[in-house]
Structure 1
Amino acid sequence: MSMAVNTVPGFYITPTDEDLITFYLKPKAMRQSLPWDGILEKNLYEDNAMPWVILTENDWEISQKTARVYENSVSKDEIYVFTKLKKIAGLRFVRVAGSGYWDDNQVITKIKNRQGEIVGIKKSFTFKVKGGKGQEKIDHKEKGRWIMHEYTLAGVSLVQEVKDSDYAICRIFRDLSKCRKNVAESSEGRQSRLDIDLNN
Structure 2
Amino acid sequence: MSLVMPVGLKFLPTDAELVGCYLYKKVTGMALPNGVVFECDLYGKENPWEIWERYKQNVVKCVEGEDLYFFTKLKKKSPKAKRIERRIGIGRCMGGRKW
Higher fraction of helix? 1
Q: Same fold (TM over 0.5)?
A: yes
Residues 172, 40 of structure 1: alpha-carbon distance in 2 compared, 3 angstrom cutoff: farther
For residue 33 of structure 1, report the CA deviation from its aligned partner: 1.9
Cα RMSD for the two superposed structures: 2.6
Instruction: Check the 8 A contact 2:43/2:75 in 1, yes or no.
Output: yes
Match of 2:48 among 26, 48, 51: 51
Instruction: Check the 8 A contact 2:38/2:69 in 1, yes or no.
Output: yes
**1:80 maps to 2:56:** no
For residue 89 of structure 1, report the CA deviation from its aligned partner: 3.0
Higher fraction of strand? 1
**Using the alignment, how far apart are the partners of 1:55 and 1:5 within structure 2?**
18
The alignment-based identity, stated in percent, is 31
* Residue segments in structure 2 that go unaligned for 5+ positions in a row: none
Instruction: Check the 8 A contact 1:45/1:86 in 2, yes or no.
Output: yes
Q: TM-score, normalised by structure 2?
A: 0.71
**1:94 maps to 2:91:** no
Q: TM-score, normalised by structure 1?
A: 0.40
**Using the alignment, how far apart are the partners of 2:71 and 2:98 within structure 1?**
11
For residue 51 of structure 1, report the CA deviation from its aligned partner: 0.3
Q: Deviations over 1:13-56 (max 9, x none)?
A: 1211100011011221232222x322122110012x21011221
Query: What pairs up with 1:1-200 in 2 under 5 angstroms?
Result: 3-34=1-32, 36-37=33-34, 38-47=36-45, 49-56=46-53, 59-61=55-57, 62=59, 65=61, 76-87=65-76, 88-89=78-79, 91-103=82-94, 125=95, 149=96, 171-172=97-98
3-state SS of 1:86 partner: coil
**Using the alignment, how far apart are the partners of 1:29 and 1:85 within structure 2?**
15
**Using the alignment, how far apart are the partners of 1:5 and 1:25 within structure 2?**
20
Q: Which has the higher contact order (CA 8 A, sep 6+)?
A: 2
Instruction: Check the 8 A contact 1:95/1:102 in 2, yes or no.
Output: yes
Instruction: Check the 8 A contact 2:48/2:91 in 1, yes or no.
Output: no
Aligned residue pairs: how many? 95
**Which residue in the other structure is 1:72 paired with?**
none
Larger Rg belongs to: 1
Instruction: Check the 8 A contact 1:13/1:66 in 2, yes or no.
Output: no
Runs (4 or more) in structure 1 with deviation over 4 Å come to none
- 2:69 maps to a residue whose letter is Y
Q: Deviations over 1:48-103 (max 9, x none)?
A: x21011221x623537x266xxxxxxx64222122111124363311222223224
